[in-house]
Amino acid sequence: MRITDEEKSNIKTAYEVLTPTDFVEKNKWLFDESFPRFPNEKDEEEGNDPYDNMRALDKIRKGAVKEWLDNLSLENILDIRNSIKEPYEYGRTLGVFYAYDGLTEQVLALISNKEENKFVNGYIRGYEGAVGEQELIKLYESMYSSMSEGDASTFLLYMWPSQDLFAFLDTLPEGIQNQYWTNYHGGTYGPYGENTTYVLNKMRSVGRSLDALNGSWHYCKELPTEILQNILVECLNCSLDVNERIDMLALGNYMEELHKRTDADKEMLFKLEWMLVPLMQHQTSKSIVSLIYEKMVEEPQLFVELLTYLYRPEHGTELDNDPEESEEESVVKKNNALRVFYILREWDKIPGVDKEGNIDLDYLKE
């Protein structure tokens, strides 16, 4: 329902009365939300361009910052970041005015301070948007000799990830590259291509195979079998110090796709299934252990072996209280028992049954 002209007039009058007279306080609210919405006078039938609000917001923010730059000292300009709720957005708008005398130097002096990361990140993104990637790389090169490896990698992390940036990164010292990929959170982006495998392999090189898996499940059908296998194997030994926890959707897609590949290493896949069995309690699909189920049917001796992991002998408790058994060995036994429990809980076949449902008694007696 559209408001009347009289109502609009009343709203504008109230706005003018309530608007602060101080030109800083008047516009700080522009940086208290990432994307504050403005009233739109268009009829619903006319349709609204979703970018109209963003363009209007960008224009008003630039106007506000320009007014501050024209009337405040550099120190006061920078102090504003401490009194708004979205320092990234303030930094991004401020970055457009990179040519303001001393501004860039003052902002980049904060790059080592983790509490300033949103503000500095926004400034670098705004700067890059104004001058382009190559010009920002030139700025980086002019400052490189005065930066630590940590600051140098942080500067690059705050840029938009791109193929050209990665090519430049490959020319830098190994220490900077390792810090960049250890802290990279840009994910894999765009259509599948060489850039996808490049990013995944770089993350793997610094022990972030689990993050690589979590961020690439949507490329499963395109990824080479070797990469699917290797990432899954590497995930088994990943440290959570540099990785997020496993995404079950990503794991399920990886395993499902690997089972479809005719060139997959079946022995490796079987070992992967066995190691990942504990995750079945969070996974409704049996596909994660389909090879184990298949082998239990084809090889009844495997079924018998698994039973020995789950059940203890009725008489023979001395085997269960071996004084020479280490704590690690005890943990392995318990974990294997849990694995078999999860496997049998979902299994609905009979060992030794062929594809037609017939039981070969002679084979079972062997």
pLDDT tens digits for 284-314?
A: 566 778 899 888 888 888 888 999 888 876 6
pLDDT tens digits for 68-125?
A: 999 999 999 999 999 999 999 999 999 999 999 999 999 999 999 999 999 999 999 9
Mean per-residue pLDDT of the chain: 87
* Mean pLDDT, rounded, for 304-332: 75
pLDDT of res. 252: 87
pTM of the shown model: 0.81
pLDDT of res. 316: 56
The ranges assigned to domains in the chain are: 197-264, 284-366
Q: Is 23's pLDDT higher than 50?
A: yes
pLDDT of res. 281: 67
Q: Is 44's pLDDT higher than 70?
A: no
Q: Which residue has the tokens 């299994």?
A: 347
DSSP string, 176-203: HHHHHHHH------SSSSHHHHHHHHHH
pLDDT of res. 43: 45
Query: Where residue 227 falls among pLDDT bands split at 50, 70, 90?
Result: very high
Compare 192 and 358 and report the one with higher pLDDT. 192
What would the two tokens of residue 37 be? Answer: 């919405």
Residue 102 CB contacts under 8 Å (≥ 6 apart), including other chains:
74
